[in-house]
Amino acid sequence: MPRWTVRISLLRLWLQSTSLLAVLAGYSLLLLFNQQLAGLHRNAAHRQLAEQLAAELSSRASERRQLQPLLEAALLPGWRLQLLQPWGSRASGPMAMPALESRGGQEWLLSQVPLALSDGSRAQLLVEQNVTSSVQQERLAFWLLVVAAGVSSLFTSGLLRLVLQRGLVQPLQEFTTQLSATQAPPLASDQIPVAEQPEELQPIALAFNDLQQRLTVSWERQRSFVDGVAHELRTPITLISGHAQRLLRQPGLEASAPSLRLIEQEAMRMGSLVSNLLDLARQDSGRLQLRRQPILADEAIVQAYERLVFSSGWRLHLDTPAAELPVAMGDPERLQECLAALIENALHYSPTPLPVSLAADQQGNSLVLHVCDQGPGVEAGEREAIFERFARGSASINSSNRGSGIGLAVVRLLMEAMGGSVQVADAPGGGADFQLHLPLARPLGGPPSA
């Protein structure tokens, strides 16, 4: 899963869970408020009715002996009335708040109301009301509201998921797709349409476009510099190599011959490096063009062997193909450059005097040219990375190879431009087996290649 997708999923999960918790907290507060409000309403109704009963008793009883019959007559279903305080002129007190008590599985609401008679005597009247049915209804309503809140929370969660998907995830994924579609090297036309983005993403789009423009300018300067320097260096390097070869052919300079040969070799190495830089610059600017024509495998490997066997110190060996090889398609000159780069690389990593072998065979619809050495080989985790620009494998740490790190990158560039590929595997006798795969001129079971 891409890292962007993981981050979006985590953000969506966090927003969804946070919003759901906020909704549940709101429902909880609403339920608690509703429960408290129901209790206050019940207490207010009880208090009002208790006060009315006390007022009725005070108006109808003028003395103590008339009160008891009225208490019994005023008894309502679910109500109990009782005098708590002795009679006296000072028998009075504040009205107590109603209290809820549980008795034998029933709920009773109790309150005290001051009672004053016309003869001036006072007492406290205890009023008890059976509110079991009311409390049960309140509890039932509470749990019904809890269930409704749970269902509503699930609905809210689903709706919130849809809102986040439409309003957050999809815009971010589309924005990510647009970012991923930008080319490397960046082009001036690779701009994110800011107006089409959501308002929250527009600052990011503007910042990306600004960065893209700076990268485009920097890339153009770098490409122009490499291309210009490479062109400027080709002429003096060619002159140095030509004059070194001319001096080697003149008699009487045997004492200077080793130095002249070194000059010639270094000039050729510098020329190869400049050529590689030019190929990279042309590929970056889209100006790299290769010919595609039939190539005979026997001729290609023999030509590479004859050109490099002497400079390799006769360490380059040519293996005879076991069978007749088919015709492949590619650029013959560029193929020789690829073989020369792989052979030079193999000679560096294969200890002297161990040989480097050159062979060819057919694998499926491809012609494969092999350059096998007897060096330390290439670790499996590095077999793709070594073909990147300026990348070198771990085996180069203990090697005296002064490679620039672009030789294998240019080999892959040229092979892909010819419609083929380059790979590395383990050689049968140990070491590395670099393979150049070229498409056949007439693939098996198909028409000739264009």
Q: Where are the domains of the chain?
A: 3-154, 222-285, 293-439
C-alpha dihedral (80, 83, 84, 88), degrees to nearest 10: 170
**Structure confidence at residue 4 (pLDDT):** 45
Q: Does the domain spanning 222-285 belong to CATH 1.10.287?
A: yes
Which CATH number does 293-439 carry? 3.30.565.10
pLDDT attached to residue 358: 94
- Stretch 258-287: mean pLDDT: 76
What type of residue is 172? L
Q: Identify residue 214 by its one-letter amino acid code.
A: R
**In Å, what is the CA distance from 361 to each residue of 194, 358, 368, 369, 401?**
54, 11, 5, 7, 29
Spatial distance between the Cα atoms of 360 and 22, rounded to a whole number of angstroms: 70
Q: What span, in angstroms and rounded, lies between the C-alpha atoms of 148 and 161?
A: 20
Identify which of 73-77, 267-271, 358-362 has the greatest average pLDDT.
358-362
391-439 pLDDT per residue, tens? 776 666 555 555 567 889 889 989 998 999 999 999 988 899 999 999 9
pLDDT digits (tens, 9 = 90+) for 365-389: 899 999 999 988 888 888 888 888 8
Query: CA quadruple 143, 149, 155, 157: dihedral positive or negative?
Result: negative
Judge whether 3-154 and 293-439 match in fold: no
Give all strands (DSSP E) within 50-142, no chain letters.
79-83, 99-103, 106-116, 122-130
Q: Which CATH architecture has domain 3-154?
A: 2-Layer Sandwich (3.30)
- For the stretch 184-238, pLDDT in tens is 666 666 677 778 777 777 788 888 888 878 877 777 777 777 667 766 777 787 8
Whole-angstrom Cα distance, residue 210 to residue 448? 48
CA distance readout (Å), 269 to 112, 124, 169, 264, 316 = 111, 117, 54, 9, 19
* Mean predicted lDDT score pLDDT of the chain: 78
What is the structure's pLDDT at 291?
Answer: 83
Q: φ, ψ for residue 380 (rounded to 5)?
A: -60, -35
Reported as a single tens digit per residue, the pLDDT across 308-366 is 898 888 899 998 877 788 899 999 998 998 999 999 989 988 888 889 999 999 998 89
- The pTM score is 0.51
Distance separating the N- and C-terminal Cα atoms of the chain? 39
Express each pLDDT in 295-306 by its tens digit: 998 899 999 999
Q: For residue 244, is pLDDT > 90?
A: no
pLDDT tens profile 139-195: 888 888 888 877 877 787 777 777 777 766 777 777 777 667 766 666 666 677 778
Give the pLDDT of residue 62: 67
Both tokens assigned to 166: 């439409």
